[in-house]
Amino acid sequence: MRPNAPALPNRPPLVPGTGSLAKGVTDDFEDENWQWFYNHPKSSEEQDERMRSPLGRSGNRVWFEGPKRGTPDTVKRIPLPAPGLEGSEHGLLIATLHAGVPGYASGKMMQDDLIFDMKRLLRGGMNVADSPSVVVRVYMPPFDQWENRSGPSFGFRTGCYTHTIITGENHPSRGEYGLEEYWPGMFICFENGDEKRHAEDGAYIRVRSGRSGGELMGPRIEQLGWWTLGIAFSPDGVVHYFASPGVDDLTAEDHITSQYPYGYRTEIFKTFFFNVCSQDDGKTWSTPWVIDDPKVYFVPKAKIAQQPESSRR
């Protein structure tokens, strides 16, 4: 990690959902023909360096399986478990059982990835100069439905780029100056009340990451049901994390923190994705997570087509 960010600027945070909705960069899961093609066996490049093509993908080509960790074992359009956004009747269930290498139960926490194909929809990512942001609704089920394991259960994350010394372990240009990819986001973590260290079941949001790469404790999940999560990128390269119970639009009051994750000044918001984690023992399912209506926004500059007076001669 070679930090390239200055001190955090003293500006109000950028609220996710600010500006215009990016047309077509969404999925409302209302199409009754919505389908997921698993294309098993799943990839597990992170564990055994095997990417098993073809990758899983949705019929609408908006989502694909994460090549590093593989497809969740359940990716299914379902009726909403509780009333959510107005006009929305369906969401996407994501859960997993065999989160690690196919055919091998590691007994360790593993995760699978569902990735939004922003690269295909936009022919690349979004420049932070356009103040992009992403907002999603996530359903937190009753605690008796959560996997009985303390630790991360669900991740809402983004793919970002900055220019610095490349640290990716298998990157061909590791150690050289270039485009470094990293994945800021938020994890929902469970506290298992069956364990002595926790008086009762509980959950909280953990933010990845602070300036040094360490994770930050976010708010506790005091209320289950629908939550609205959002991540925004301001032109100064700062990442802004927001969360709020319910499905209302995010406001400044829902701000958790603003950070330069890993000390990096973000340049490009490449895409967003979801992790689902399980203990990978071959018999215990993850918590069933339902997401709905992920949407991407940006702030267009009003006078973009107008040449500034000073450069006219």
Partner 1 sequence: MDLVPAEGENIMSYRSYSCVRNTFVAAVIISQAALLAQTAEAIGPFSVEARRRRARW
Considering the complex, state which of residue 196 and residue 313 has its C-beta at the smaller distance from partner 1: 313
For partner 1, the binding residues (CB under 8 A) are 19-28, 30-31, 33-34, 60, 62, 87, 122-123, 126-127, 130, 295-296, 298, 300-301, 304-305, 307-308, 311, 313
Q: How far is CA 9 from CA 5, 163, 179, 235, 265, in A?
A: 10, 20, 23, 11, 12
Residue number, 112 or 293, with CB nearest to partner 1: 293
**Which CB sits closer to partner 1, 24 or 214?**
24
CB of 20 to partner 1, least distance (A): 4
Distance of alpha carbon 118 from alpha carbon 297, whole angstroms: 12
- Least distance CB 308 / partner 1 (angstroms): 8
Does residue 149 contact residue 125 with C-beta atoms inside 8 Å?
Answer: no
| Least distance CB 80 / partner 1 (angstroms) | 16
Taking the C-alpha atoms of residue 239 and residue 13, their distance in angstroms, rounded to an integer, is 9
Tokens of 32: 């009754």
Q: Is the dihedral of CA 122, 123, 127, 128 positive or negative?
A: positive
- Cα(18)–Cα(238) distance, integer angstroms: 15
- What are the tokens at 211? 């300036």
Compute the C-alpha angle 137/67/93, nearest 5°: 30
Could you say which DSSP state residue 193 is in?
Answer: T
Shortest CB 300 distance to partner 1, Å? 5
CB nearer to partner 1: give 26 or 47. Answer: 26
CA 127/CA 144 separation, integer angstroms: 42
Smallest distance from partner 1 to CB 269, Å: 11
Largest Cα–Cα distance in the chain?
Answer: 75
How is residue 208 written in tokens?
A: 């990845």
49 vs 86 by CB, closer to partner 1: 86
Q: Which is nearer to partner 1, 10 or 33 (CB)?
A: 33
Listed residue (56, 38, 157, 50) closest to 100, CA to CA: 50
Calculated CA dihedral for residues 135, 137, 140, 145, nearest 10 degrees: -120
- Judged by CB, which is closer to partner 1: 197, or 303? 303
DSSP 135: E
Q: How far is the CB of 127 from partner 1 (least distance, A)?
A: 7
Q: How far is the CB of 4 from partner 1 (least distance, A)?
A: 22
Q: Which residue has the tokens 């702030």?
A: 299
| Amino acid in position 280 | D
Cβ at position 112, least distance to partner 1 in Å: 23
Question: What is the smallest separation between the CB atom of 30 and partner 1, expressed in angstroms?
Answer: 7
Nearer to partner 1 by Cβ, of 53 and 306: the residue is 306
d(CA 43, CA 35): 19
Residue (19 or 219) nearer to partner 1, CB: 19
